[in-house]
Amino acid sequence: MSTAGSPTSVALEPNIRRPKAPRMTSVRCRASTSGGGPGQTVAIIGRGRVGLAIGRMCERLDMEHVFMTRGDTSFPPHGPIYVATHASDLDDVLALVPNDRRKDLVLLQGGLLRDDWLRHRGLNRSCAATQVALYMSAKGDGTVRDGGGATCACGPRAGDVSELLTKGGNVRCVVVDEAAFRVASVCKLVWTSAFWLLCRSLCTTPGDAMTVGEVVDSDEGERAVRELACELLDCVEAAGELRVGDENENGNGNDDSPRDSSREAVLRGIFEYSRSIPSSVPSAEMALKEAGFRNGWFLARRSAESPQTRHADHLRRIGLDPDALV
């Protein structure tokens, strides 16, 4: 998500071609104990803004790393495998990763990967892959800016991720348990589904878009964010993705109102992240490309009890049919 001269959210990086039979383009440095461990090579799938940023972090830490591209068929024998592609490209990527290397996968799609999607691919959080909820901005040259210090990782390679991002990119990243990651990933899912839409539907100039900062810093925008976010959170809770008491299990909630505590944690995170990247404008093109992981995921779960009226109204304001996104 970007305007000219503004940072781009990692959740909305530019289009990356689907790797059918990846080859490795080596960018080799001396092996390092940081991020990948001694004798290990970091593999990076995807050379968009996020992938390039991971590569630059490896360079700063003098770590051996390779970019996986079309043509090659083998992965380095040891080390984390960072997947920095669009969520819509993941099935093609996963088909290339040997089963015995899935424990090394680091999925950078954050909140876009929900329980049912992960479970059907044998990648649920209690199993193999590491997930990262990225709260940072990345530019086309691979430089990054921390998006409020909320980035977190969960899974077997979470420690490697935290070290790489913190030391190599100045992006604070903490290792969390499943309950804490669930709250962070839901926050990112709601943010990526809501803000590309609100930046356009609230804009008074047809065909134009407001910045994230302009939305959250206006009374009308703040109210619209809360209303839409709460509507989407109703859907998340009904789907079992945000479990009542998740916050309390980490000692951060109010024991008297666990549901409100989890919801307020998400809302607080949405506003904090937005105010850390005020000049950004999320990409509508990428939101539509990944609609099945974003707005379409919510719309497919509409019900008589939760019709998502505001969600549908905002879509219609920018000329989109909600049913077409499902």
Q: What pLDDT digit, counting tens, does each position of 106-131 carry?
A: 999 978 998 889 888 888 655 579 99
Identify whether 5 is part of a domain: no
E strands, 103-253, are 105-107, 130-133, 136-138, 144-146, 151-154, 173-175
Whether 45 and 172 share a structural domain:
yes
pLDDT of residue 243: 67
Mean pLDDT of 98-113: 90
Domain shared by 191 and 171, yes or no? no
Euclidean distance between CA atoms 30 and 7, whole angstroms? 31
CA distance linking residue 273 with residue 165, whole number of Å: 17
Residue 72 binned pLDDT confidence (cut-offs 50, 70, 90): low
pTM above 0.85, yes or no: no
How would you list the strands of the sheet with 173-175, edge to edge? Answer: 22-27, 65-70, 42-45, 81-83, 105-107, 130-133, 151-154, 173-175
Say what the pLDDT of residue 262 is.
79
User: How high is the mean pLDDT of the chain?
Assistant: 83
Q: Which of 176, 193, 211 is the last residue in one of the domains?
A: 176
> Does the residue 227 lie in any domain?
yes
- C-alpha distances (whole Å) from 153 to each of 32, 83, 108, 163 are 21, 14, 9, 11
What is the domain-level CATH number for residue 158? 3.40.50
pLDDT of residue 12: 32
- Give the residue from 176, 207, 229 where a domain finishes: 176
- To the nearest 10°, report the CA torsion of 86, 240, 101, 55: 40
Q: How many CA atoms lie within 13 A of 121 on its CB side?
A: 21
Residues 253 and 226 occupy one common structural domain: yes
* Residues 133/181, Cβ–Cβ less than 8 Å: yes
Same domain, residue pair 164 and 206: no
Range of the domain at 233: 179-325
**Domain total of the chain:** 2
Residue 226 or 239, more confident: 226
CA–CA separation, 189 and 232 (whole Å): 10
